[in-house]
């Protein structure tokens, strides 16, 4: 599962990518500095691991990781092959969710691809390029279904849906904004559309804008616009985040408190990205290791066991499960067991975020 950073050139994608991943990729104020994608696996901040480590005193603590890709910038006309054009679009096709970075900061030393800062216009520009790429896909799909419907009338409906979707995209609206029944949405989800991927908008602000964001018009407008897609806008100052990363812990705590924050923006943004990709964590705890494991939401117990080792899935018998809050409230597994809070779950159990699990198996 991968999250792609998408946006116009010089909006701060690589700066943000570095702040999130510590990868140290090259940034500059020349458009198209990032020609090859930057890729990094990032530990997902999870305070629950520290709590469990306090209970177990493990030799090792292993967080979950999320994969981020900083995708080379696009400009107007990408869908017609301009700039890095099709290559850029192909990279977006491969990711499971999109972090759409929008430049809010003003800086005359940093060239703006569209002349001057205008967050709402830039959001449109990028979304229009993605819509144009999707129009072709929807058109092809409708044509294919129409042809196949000559032999199988049941496919007429599919042809109709994709034609309606194509017309909707023609109006410059994303597939996320297309009103459809749950059944039709499943059909559309099956199609590799760029504007149907889960998206989180990231408003990259100057420090002043960030401090005064509750009254900063363009940020508030972005929030309203994103609502129609069921999407959120995350406010951040990429430059500041990078500075926060470089501070020692004491300075960092003071600085965050002064900004009215309880954790760095990067931590929250990584957590939101993880969630956006449809991922969650279950936990295992013991003296050798306390660890978070990544699964897709909706995963059942045997498949979750398989993340640890294939044998655990093959020989799955039961899962001993206790919720993180129950376990920490009791202080130990033994105390949680005594209170009847450790459940035995079978093959059909759907895992929950924060389950602390011990799998019983036999091979
Ligand atoms: N003033 C200011 N400059 C920034 C900020 N974020 C990024 N930049 C600068 O903008 C330029 C382009 O940033 P970069 O991350 O390479 O943008 P990308 O093309 O979207 O990857 C660099 O010179 C950054 O230092 C910010 O929040 N404020
Ligand atoms: Mg870049």
pLDDT averaged over the chain? 92
Q: Is the CB of 280 under 6 A from ligand 1?
A: no
pLDDT at residue 223 above 90?
Answer: yes
Q: What is the pLDDT of residue 152?
A: 85
Cα–ligand 1 centroid distance for 257 (angstroms)? 25
pLDDT(109) > 80: yes
Flag the least confident range among 85-94, 105-114, 259-268. 85-94
Q: What is d(CA 363, CA 352) in angstroms, rounded to the nearest whole number?
A: 26
Using alpha carbons, list the distances in angstroms from residue 306 to 44, 274, 361.
Answer: 21, 20, 11
Nearest CA to ligand 1 atom 6: 12
Percent of the chain at pLDDT exceeding 90:
78
Cβ(265)–Cβ(338) below 8 Å: no
DSSP code for 174: -
Please state the domain extents for the chain: 2-276, 298-361
Q: How far is the CA of 75 from the centre of ligand 2 (A)?
A: 13
Atom of ligand 1 nearest to the CA of 17: 15
Does the pLDDT at position 76 exceed 70? no
> For residues 87 and 21, which has the higher predicted lDDT (pLDDT)?
21
Instruction: Give per-residue pLDDT as tens, 265-302.
Output: 999 999 999 999 999 999 999 999 999 999 999 999 99
Is domain 2-276 annotated with CATH 3.40.50.300?
A: yes
Give the pLDDT confidence score for residue 154 in this predicted structure: 82
Average of pLDDT values for 40-58? 95
Interval between CA 27 and ligand 1 midpoint (Å) = 7
pLDDT at 24 exceeding the cut of 90: no
Fold of 298-361: Ubiquitin-like (UB roll) (3.10.20)
pLDDT bin (cut points 50, 70, 90) of residue 35 is: low
For residue 242, pLDDT over 60 is answered with yes
Residue 271, ligand 1, Cβ within 6 A: no
Tell me which residue of 232, 224, 312, 315 sits closest to 272, measured CA to CA: 232
């Amino acid at each position: 599962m991968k999250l792609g950073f998408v946006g116009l050139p010089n909006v701060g994608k690589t700066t943000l990518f570095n702040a999130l991943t510590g990868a140290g990729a090259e940034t500059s104020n020349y458009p198209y500095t990032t020609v090859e994608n930057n890729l990094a696996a990032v530990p997902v901040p999870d305070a629950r691991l520290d709590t469990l480590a306090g209970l177990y005193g493990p030799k090792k603590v292993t967080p979950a990781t999320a994969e981020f890709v900083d995708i080379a910038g696009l400009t107007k006309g990408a869908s017609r092959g301009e700039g890095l054009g099709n290559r850029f679009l192909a990279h977006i096709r491969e990711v499971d969710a999109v972090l759409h970075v929008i430049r809010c900061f003003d800086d005359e030393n940093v060239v703006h691809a569209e002349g001057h800062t205008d967050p709402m216009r830039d959001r449109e520009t990028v979304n229009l390029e993605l819509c144009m790429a999707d129009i072709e896909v929807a058109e092809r799909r409708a044509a294919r279904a129409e042809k196949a419907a000559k032999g199988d009338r049941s496919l007429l409906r599919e042809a109709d849906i994709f034609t309606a979707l194509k017309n909707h995209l023609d109006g410059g609206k994303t597939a996320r904004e297309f009103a459809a029944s749950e059944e039709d949405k499943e059909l559309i989800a099956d199609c590799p559309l760029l504007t149907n991927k889960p998206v989180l908008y990231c408003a990259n602000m100057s420090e002043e804008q960030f401090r005064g964001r509750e009254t900063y018009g363009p940020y508030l407008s972005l929030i309203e616009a994103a609502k129609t897609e069921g999407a959120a806008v995350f406010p951040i100052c990429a430059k500041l985040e990078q500075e926060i990363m470089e501070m020692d812990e004491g300075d960092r705590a003071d600085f965050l408190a002064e900004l009215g924050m309880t954790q760095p923006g990067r931590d929250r943004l990584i957590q939101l990205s993880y969630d956006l990709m449809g991922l969650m964590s279950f936990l295992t705890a013991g003296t050798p290791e306390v660890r978070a494991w990544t699964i897709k939401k909706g995963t059942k117990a045997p498949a979750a066991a398989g993340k640890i080792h294939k044998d655990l899935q093959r020989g799955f018998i039961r899962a001993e499960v206790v919720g993180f809050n129950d376990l920490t409230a009791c202080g130990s597994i033994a105390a949680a067991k005594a209170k009847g809070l450790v459940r035995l779950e079978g093959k059909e159990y759907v895992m929950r975020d924060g389950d602390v699990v011990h799998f019983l198996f036999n091979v």
